[in-house]
Chain A
């Protein structure tokens, strides 16, 4: 597992690392804010490599959702594994994003 994994960006897709903690979460947040400032209206975060998201990671993702909502943008979380979907459902994250 890579603590604080890099967050590559491809078009409007941000690729999350394997472990979303504070460091990795803040990288996603930074990329998201940059793209929203550029006028992006649909932000996609790809979780295909993601195995674990801790509480700080959840909080940061909620912040990203809130920022996008304030800018009138939608958020897509793609390739989310089953465990993470359960976590998102349990905490209400799924209500604010499109899971693809």
Chain B
């Protein structure tokens, strides 16, 4: 085997390793460092550097430097003329003497000379500058042969492609980040709009101030207790906020009537679910069930609700959630014709109407959430914040909740007995 054959085999080995290194998902900086080692080791080059081109700063920034000393400039500014010449030259090694005509070389010539650089290779990939190689003298003391330059070109192309891919990934990540920010801004705008709508709806009814907001929050609690994901929970809250949007078209004197309204007025008021649906339908909500919640939030499982008298499974699930949240708020707030009911009575009412008006699984989830808050298992004081601490911490409410939940979804007979005993309703032995 001739020495040239041996050199070629050695260089091919380095080229194969370079390919492997670049396709591995290693740390990019480390990949470039290893690439410089591979070029140097393939041809026995004493020193060198690999730079990445920044098209924003118009500069070559060193990513890997070997043996060029601490005073070697780590960032080289390029002129438009440099860039033009790089592109014209393409990925072809330039001897240092020829490179001296480049404007940037004239600025850094002393540094390059001191470090005995012999070859400069612009890394141009798909007609874009991505970086450059700076190579010092060979350990043999000989100049670079055409064979050497071909090997350098092949290895430089690999490194150039690796940098180009990295640039592309960075660009994609930047766009993805921009899109994420844009999406979050749009989402925030949507939520502000929804809340503004809820406030507008509530403004119309002086007796139920904050009703839509509370229904939104209670719907959110139910969805959370059902174990829904954050997007779905958000959807449930929006459905709650907007469920009464149809009331915007109902006369204020009917909504604010300080007495039980008559049949005619009731018929007028009962149009608000259908009107709400018509208002919400053309809007492109991120949650498609929002208009359905507005339309069917007065339906009941037993078919005695309105507007369509739907039964159980005919009612959209989101409407069942909003129905429960809506009814709970109606029972727990003062109305012009009656004071709000005690929390224990409300719990009893929900239990009594589970399976008739309300979906039982939603009642147990909702009451379960309430119990978790009162026992400290849930730190977020959602109910206390919305209904007042005194109201929610009334005597016996925790026992009442435990007892009700055991009755609705018993866990073991023992817990049933214990809960029953604690509310003074001891079973017969």
Contact = CB atoms under 8 A, between A and B. Distances in A.
Given A55-B42, A57-B41, A91-B43, A96 B139 contact: yes
B327 interface: no
Interface string A46-61: 0000000011111110
Give the bracket for the number of chain A residues in contact with chain B: 10 to 19
Given A22-B34, A90-B3, A90-B7, A56 B140 contact: no
A66 interface: yes
A62 B139 contact: yes
A87 B43 CA distance: 11
Nearest to B48: A59
B17 A56 contact: yes
B290 interface: no
A95 B140 contact: yes
Contacts of B6: 86-87, 90
B272 interface: no
Contact of A92 (B14, B17, B67, B140): B140
Contact of B41 (A55, A86, A95): A55
A63 to B, nearest CB: 6
B350 interface: no
Given A62-B40, A62-B44, A95-B141, A55 B67 contact: no
Q: For the complex, would chain B's binding face be called helix, strand, loop or mixed by DSSP majority?
A: helix
Most B CB within 10 A of own CB, among A56, A59, A93 = A59
A54 B21 CA distance: 14
Interface residues of B, number: 26
B140 A58 contact: no
A58 B47 contact: no
B41 A54 contact: yes
A1 B142 CA distance: 34
B402 to A, nearest CB: 63
Contacts of A60: 37, 41
Given A55-B14, A62-B46, A87-B10, A92 B141 contact: yes
Contacts of A91: 10, 41, 43-44, 139-140
